[in-house]
Structure 1
């Protein structure tokens, strides 16, 4: 494996590894050598030394050390990607919590991972794409945020998305590598108009509106565009503008 990213927090270290495979062997002065290449899969290692992690159900692979696991109910209305159906009903969902001393490894996947950190300040809460949450330090809380500004656009209950609050480090699952993620800082004067499929996460302090790209039915038909998100206010937006194309970084091909 090849280390891609590492970040240390209070009682927890997170590492992202790229899986590799041997492409050829060779003999050198120091013995038998091997050449390795990434095969396009990634895994997350969580080293626990006093803290704990909440992991998306089904993502656990194995643990080593004195590690305890428990299924915990998230806050009312909270949800994980694989329990998204419960969010629409307002029911609570469950997460797997690992604590103790040791290491926890997640299942390999061909999607990319990004480690981020939250200070716990009110302006540092993040709204995530439904498919983005993967792992978080257990000092953080995963809940649900309802956009009242888009109520009725998709359903009678409005648009709901995962909301991550609290202080700690966390991992989001991305369709593109971190080098292809575009980070936009909004200063309160500008706005971002974007296809919702391109949004990875954004500050909870931002205002979100869902509307047609152009006004009028005839103009909308001519443009070929449907509904878009209009994001404004002060905060940060993380976009994945390349995720509709299969990139070399995503496939491991050259």
Structure 2
């Protein structure tokens, strides 16, 4: 499509994800053959195309724009404590969330947004599960399982219920919504002999195999008040952490 520019593509088993940047005309000019030519630039909005050719996709409710082809849509109830971002509040009450599942042959397009998207892949191997920021999930191949991870080590820290986050497991490709472009995402690999201290605002996703603890940066009420810092994540073990250090946005982890 002339009003879009492909910025990322990844093929999976029976499914292809494409991220497109929307463009707009900045100048018209006459070409050598007399035809009117357009000069286009990206306008800061992005959309995701899911091409189905044998597999299905689960999409965040409200993200669907249109589909083309022989596509069937079904709203499915996720496991108890499902996490989709528009239902994260109900996850805290133990109620179920919903996802829209698309199957068939054809293409599904999502609503344009000014958020950035990142395509990732999971092998399905043990330890390859990912914990996501509660606003990061966007869509996933329906061969993957959607669930909720509860940090039992910090139960009671937030509203007496601990901290719940989305969890993706199984084999397939998926898309996460990021506040920054993929070029600004920093990936830190922990070997098991080192650790990471990070503000929760900056964590896009991380390996479920890691040990995570939420606590004040410095011990003691007086010291915490002097430092001006709130709660931070203490991460150890073996795995990967995806950070967005160029983004700042207040979250519960810094309250």
| TM-score category of the 2 structures, normalised to the smaller one | over 0.9
Q: In the alignment, does 2:27 pair up with 1:24?
A: yes
> For residues 80 and 239 of structure 1, what CA distance do their matches in structure 2 show?
21
1:210 aligns with 214
Q: Give the match's secondary structure for 2:80.
A: coil
Query: Shift of residue 155 of structure 1?
Result: 3.0
Q: In the alignment, does 2:117 pair up with 1:113?
A: yes
> For residues 129 and 121 of structure 2, what CA distance do their matches in structure 1 show?
10
1:195 aligns with 199
1:128 to 132, 136, 139: 132
1:152 aligns with 156
1:251 aligns with none
1:239 aligns with 243
> For residues 42 and 150 of structure 1, what CA distance do their matches in structure 2 show?
36
CA contact (8 A) 1:126 1:164 kept: yes
> For residues 95 and 19 of structure 2, what CA distance do their matches in structure 1 show?
32
1:249 aligns with none
> For residues 85 and 131 of structure 1, what CA distance do their matches in structure 2 show?
12
Could you say what the CA RMSD is over the residues aligned between the two structures, in angstroms? Answer: 1.0
2:12 aligns with 9
CA contact (8 A) 1:77 1:90 kept: yes
Q: Give the match's secondary structure for 2:153.
A: helix
What are the ranges of 5 or more consecutive residues in structure 1 without an aligned counterpart? 246-254
> For residues 154 and 103 of structure 1, what CA distance do their matches in structure 2 show?
40
TM-score by length of 1: 0.94
Q: Give the match's secondary structure for 1:38.
A: strand
Query: Shift of residue 156 of structure 1?
Result: 2.4
> For residues 56 and 111 of structure 2, what CA distance do their matches in structure 1 show?
18
What are the ranges of 5 or more consecutive residues in structure 2 without an aligned counterpart? 250-255
2:105 aligns with 101
CA contact (8 A) 2:83 2:134 kept: no
> For residues 102 and 212 of structure 1, what CA distance do their matches in structure 2 show?
49
Residue by residue, what CA displacement relative to the aligned partner does 1:65-109 show, whole Å, maximum 9, x if unpaired?
Answer: 000000011122222000111111112211000000000000000
Residues paired across the two proteins, number: 245
1:162 aligns with 166
2:77 aligns with 73
CA contact (8 A) 1:151 1:158 kept: yes
2:86 aligns with 82
CA contact (8 A) 2:82 2:88 kept: no
CA contact (8 A) 1:75 1:141 kept: no
> For residues 216 and 132 of structure 2, what CA distance do their matches in structure 1 show?
22
